[in-house]
C-alpha cells in the first residue's frame, strides 16, 4: 500500500495527461517529498524485442550537467596507459594488483575502464563485476585504448542506458536539487540519444511511452516526439 505522502503527491499528477518535458520536470520537483536529495529518472518503454541481438538498444551518453555525484573510477591498464588514466583523474589505477584485490572482495568504485590488453585479466572477474553492472564493455566505451577520454567522460557524467528484458530503459538524469533547466537539458540529451539508437530491425512504434519521476515520487507521463 502506498504511503500517505506518496498518495498526496500522486493526487497532484494527472495520470492520463502527457506532459511536456519541462512541465513534467517542474511537477516532479514540486511533488518530491523524500528527506534526501532524490534522483530524477527517465523511463522509456520501447517497441523492441531485446531477446533479439539486432534489436538491442544500448549505449552511453554524456549528460551536459552531470549526475550530481562523484563517480569513483577504476582503470585497469599498464605502463603508459596507467599514467594517462592517472593524469585524467582516475581514482584507482592498476593491473594484476587490482584484479587480485577485487577477487579478495574490494569493490570501492562505481565504474571500471580497461584497456583491451588487460581484458584477459578482467574476464576472470565476470562473476564479481557482471552482476553489479561494472563489467567493462567496448560498446559502452569502457574497453578502450583512449583511457583518458573514458575517464573524463565518466567523471563528467557519462551514463549507460540499456533496455531490460521487457524492453524498458531506466536512467537517472540528475538530482532534484538541480536547477530545472539543467535537469530538462540532461533528460532531453538522454531521450535524443535513445531515439538516435533506434535499431533498424525494430518494427512498429519505437517509443511506446515515457515517464519521468523521482526516486520516491509518482511517475509523470511525458510527450516524446520521435
- State which H helix or E strand residue 87 sits in: helix 79-88
Nearer to another protein, 45 or 119 (CB): 119
Q: Count CB atoms within 10 A of the CB of residue 47.
A: 15
Residue 116 contacts another protein per CB under 8 A: yes
Site stretch for another protein (CB under 8 A), options 116-124, 169-177, 193-201, 202-210: 116-124
- Site map 138..177 versus another protein, x via CB under 8 A: xx---x---------------------x------------
**Which part of the chain contacts another protein (CB under 8 A), choosing from 11-19, 91-99, 111-119, 181-189?**
111-119
Question: Which string of b and e fits 86-118 if b means at least 16 CB within 10 Å?
Answer: bebebbbbbbeebbeebeeeeeebebbbbbeeb
Report the residue from 18, 71, 101, 137 that binds another protein according to the rule CB under 8 A: 137
What are residue 221's DSSP bridge partners?
A: 211
Distance between CA 116 and CA 80 in Å, rounded?
A: 14
Chain centre distance of CA 142? 13
The Cα 88–Cα 190 span in angstroms is 25
Task: Kindly give the interhelix angle for 147-156 and 79-88, rounded to the nearest 10 degrees.
Answer: 30
Q: Which of 23, 117, 146, 160 binds another protein (CB under 8 A)?
A: 117
**Which contiguous run of DSSP H or E holds residue 8?**
helix 4-11
Nearer to another protein by C-beta: 37 or 49?
49
Q: Within 19-78, which residues bind another protein (CB under 8 A)?
A: 50-51, 53, 56, 58
Q: Smallest distance, Å, CB 210 to another protein?
A: 23
* Closer residue to another protein in complex, CB, 3/126: 126
Which H helix or E strand runs over 180? helix 180-196
Query: Residue 222 is placed in which grid cell?
Result: 511525458
Residue 34 vs 121, nearer CB to another protein: 121
CB 207 within 8 A of CB 44: yes
CB 167 to another protein: min, Å: 13
Among 7, 123, 192, 205, binds another protein (CB under 8 A): 123
Stretch that binds another protein, among 68-76, 94-102, 133-141, 181-189 (CB under 8 A): 133-141
Binding site for another protein (CB under 8 A): 50-51, 53, 56, 58, 116-120, 122-123, 126-127, 129-131, 135, 137-139, 143, 165
Amino acid at each position: 500500500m502506498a504511503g500517505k505522502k506518496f498518495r498526496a503527491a500522486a493526487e497532484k499528477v494527472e495520470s492520463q495527461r502527457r506532459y511536456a518535458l519541462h512541465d513534467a520536470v517542474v511537477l516532479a520537483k514540486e511533488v518530491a517529498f523524500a528527506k534526501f536529495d532524490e534522483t530524477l529518472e527517465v523511463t522509456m518503454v520501447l517497441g523492441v524485442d531485446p531477446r533479439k541481438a539486432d534489436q538491442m538498444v544500448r549505449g552511453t551518453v554524456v549528460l551536459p550537467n552531470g549526475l550530481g555525484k562523484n563517480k569513483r573510477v577504476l582503470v585497469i591498464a599498464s605502463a603508459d596507459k596507467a599514467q594517462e588514466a592517472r593524469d585524467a583523474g582516475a581514482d584507482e589505477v592498476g593491473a594484476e594488483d587490482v584484479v587480485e584485490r577485487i577477487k579478495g572482495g574490494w569493490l570501492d568504485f562505481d565504474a571500471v575502464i580497461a584497456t583491451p590488453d588487460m581484458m584477459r585479466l578482467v574476464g576472470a572477474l565476470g562473476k564479481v563485476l557482471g552482476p553489479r553492472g561494472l563489467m567493462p564493455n567496448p560498446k559502452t566505451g569502457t574497453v578502450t585504448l583512449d583511457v583518458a577520454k573514458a575517464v573524463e567522460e565518466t567523471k563528467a557524467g557519462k551514463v549507460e542506458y540499456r533496455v531490460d528484458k521487457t524492453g524498458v530503459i531506466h536512467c537517472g538524469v540528475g538530482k532534484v536539487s538541480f536547477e530545472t533547466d539543467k535537469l530538462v537539458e540532461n533528460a532531453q540529451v538522454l531521450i535524443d540519444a535513445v531515439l538516435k539508437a533506434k535499431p533498424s530491425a525494430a518494427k512498429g512504434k519505437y517509443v511506446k511511452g515515457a515517464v519521468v519521476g523521482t526516486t520516491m515520487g509518482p511517475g509523470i507521463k511525458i510527450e516524446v516526439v520521435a
